[in-house]
């Protein structure tokens, strides 16, 4: 490989990391904030167990975007990485990143499981789909992830790489725990296990909803939630497949001797998969708008209110500068029905 090809590959990796990562970060922040507004404002969603799982997943996504993604993918483009200089932020970034990732993944998975229970032909299974059980499940998931991630606070610290002479936040001091994270947590707990569970219950849910009798028993909002959870699961699988594939590749090539050209190709591929791994945490709201008429109408009303109030504000400012009386249309801008 020529030096120019290596240069262009490295340049392309930097540009993808800069612009695509920036798009992912800001899109993810807007998406998850809008998800919070939707789930907290729509009364019909509050009384559905899957909404509780999706609400908590959105909160966890916000934490993940501002801990793991911000420090690992986004800020290094601007040569800013507090985790390489601050021991406290190094430990907290890894801790909150793992806690939020596990919570988000499994809450999304529990939402898929709940759809199977809700569409089941057996009344006893349908009774397991309740707000109280959803709340208990969320708390159990959160507590387990908080406790499970405590060793990350102990063993993570800024370390200087012998090959690149660069400082980065990584595990050190306990080979057993490093092996546990590398061979179980990353490929299985954050990849294969939630993916397999979600796929199994997605198939079972699809089998259930094909029954006409069950379709008649379910409300319109329940059918929309099924579409929301299923569509989100597809995007989540894309991210988890990319993350799992990247993790397995890193394990298989950790002791492999790599030349400059190989590293250029590897860096290019890992940059793409590293960003795609966050797909399931970024596009939730846009998916909900696409598949749910109720959320789409609510979002359209928000846009109309915003545009209307902006127009009245601008007109009010203009008339106020002319010392003319200002009239506000409260019915149009002050409320939405």
Strands (E), the chain: 156-160, 167-171
As a whole number of angstroms, the distance between CA 209 and CA 60 comes to 29
Torsion angle defined by CA atoms of residues 165, 168, 174 and 178, in that order, rounded to the nearest 10 degrees:
-110
Which domains are assigned to the chain? 13-316 (1.20.1070.10)
Residue 26: the pLDDT is 92
Q: How confident is the model at residue 233 (pLDDT cuts 50, 70, 90)?
A: confident
pLDDT per residue as tens digits for the range 164-209:
566 777 777 778 888 888 888 888 898 889 888 988 888 888 888 7
Residue 334 has what DSSP assignment? S
pLDDT per residue as tens digits for the range 145-169:
999 999 999 888 877 766 556 677 7
Residue 300: the pLDDT is 86
pLDDT (average), residues 107-116: 91
Residue 20: the pLDDT is 87
Count of beta carbons in the 10 Å neighbourhood of residue 118? 24
Produce one character per residue of 134-168: b if its CB has 16 or more CB atoms within 10 Å, e if not.
Answer: beebbeebbeebeeebebbeebbebbeeeeeeeee
**Does residue 88 carry a pLDDT above 70?**
yes
Identify any residues that bridge with 156 across adjacent strands, giving them in sequence order.
171
Answer whether 107's CB lies under 8 Å from 233's CB.
Answer: no
Count of beta carbons in the 10 Å neighbourhood of residue 330? 8
To 5 degrees, how large is the angle CA 113–CA 118–CA 121?
110
Residue 98: the pLDDT is 92
Residue 27: the pLDDT is 92
Answer whether 151's CB lies under 8 Å from 207's CB.
Answer: no
pLDDT (average), residues 70-81: 69
Name the residue among 77, 82, 40 with its Cα closest to residue 58.
Answer: 40
Q: How confident is the model at residue 337 (pLDDT cuts 50, 70, 90)?
A: very low
Q: At a CB cut-off of 8 Å and minimum separation 6, what does 46 contact?
A: 39, 40
As a whole number of angstroms, the distance between CA 170 and CA 167 comes to 9
Name the residue among 40, 211, 19 with its Cα closest to residue 120.
Answer: 211
pTM of the model: 0.82
Tokens of 181: 């994270």
Q: Comparing 10-24, 211-225, 244-258, which segment has the lowest mean pLDDT?
A: 211-225
Q: Measured between alpha carbons, how far is residue 311 from residues 141, 323, 331 in Å?
A: 46, 18, 14
As a whole number of angstroms, the distance between CA 162 and CA 144 comes to 35
Q: At a CB cut-off of 8 Å and minimum separation 6, what does 142 contact?
A: 56, 99, 103
Q: How confident is the model at residue 29 (pLDDT cuts 50, 70, 90)?
A: very high
Identify any residues that bridge with 157 across adjacent strands, giving them in sequence order.
170
Answer whether 67's CB lies under 8 Å from 93's CB.
Answer: yes
Mean pLDDT of the chain: 81
Residue 30: the pLDDT is 94
| Type and span of the H or E element at 140 | helix 131-148
Count of beta carbons in the 10 Å neighbourhood of residue 94? 25
Q: What is the 3-state secondary structure (H, E, C) of 266-291?
A: HHHHHHHHHHHCCHHHHCHHHHHHHH
**Does residue 35 carry a pLDDT above 60?**
yes
Q: Comparing 65-69, 78-82, 249-253, which segment has the lowest mean pLDDT?
A: 78-82
């Amino acid at each position: 490989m020529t030096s120019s090809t290596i240069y262009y590959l490295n340049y392309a990796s930097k540009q993808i990391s800069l612009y695509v990562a920036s798009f992912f970060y800001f899109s993810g922040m807007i998406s998850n904030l809008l998800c919070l507004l939707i789930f907290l404002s729509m009364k019909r969603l509050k009384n559905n167990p899957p909404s509780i799982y999706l609400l908590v997943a959105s909160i966890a996504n916000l934490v993940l975007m501002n801990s793991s993604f911000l420090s690992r993918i986004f800020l290094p483009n601007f040569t800013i990485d507090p985790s390489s200089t601050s021991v406290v932020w190094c430990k907290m970034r890894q801790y909150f990143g793992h806690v939020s990732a596990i919570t988000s993944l499994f809450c999304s998975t529990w939402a898929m499981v709940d759809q199977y229970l809700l569409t089941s032909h057996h009344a006893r299974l349908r009774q397991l789909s309740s707000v109280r059980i959803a709340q208990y499940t969320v708390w159990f998931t959160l507590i387990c992830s908080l406790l499970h991630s405590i060793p990350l606070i102990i063993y993570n610290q800024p370390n200087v790489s012998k090959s690149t002479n660069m400082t980065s936040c990584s595990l050190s001091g306990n080979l057993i725990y490093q092996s546990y994270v590398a061979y179980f947590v990353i490929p299985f707990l954050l990849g294969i296990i939630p993916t397999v569970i979600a796929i199994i219950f997605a198939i079972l849910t699809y089998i259930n909803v094909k029954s006409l009798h069950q379709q008649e028993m379910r409300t319109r909002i329940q059918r929309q939630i099924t579409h929301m959870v299923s569509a989100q699961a597809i995007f989540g699988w894309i991210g988890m497949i990319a993350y799992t594939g990247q993790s397995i590749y890193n394990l298989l090539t950790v002791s492999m001797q790599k030349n400059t050209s190989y590293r250029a190709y590897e860096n290019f591929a890992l940059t793409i998969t590293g960003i795609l791994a966050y797909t399931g945490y970024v596009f939730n709201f846009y998916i909900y708008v696409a598949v749910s008429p109720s959320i789409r109408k609510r979002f359209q009303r928000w846009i109309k209110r915003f545009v209307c109030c902006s127009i009245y504000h601008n007109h009010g400012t203009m008339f106020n500068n002319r010392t003319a009386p200002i009239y506000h249309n409260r019915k149009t801008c002050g409320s939405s029905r």
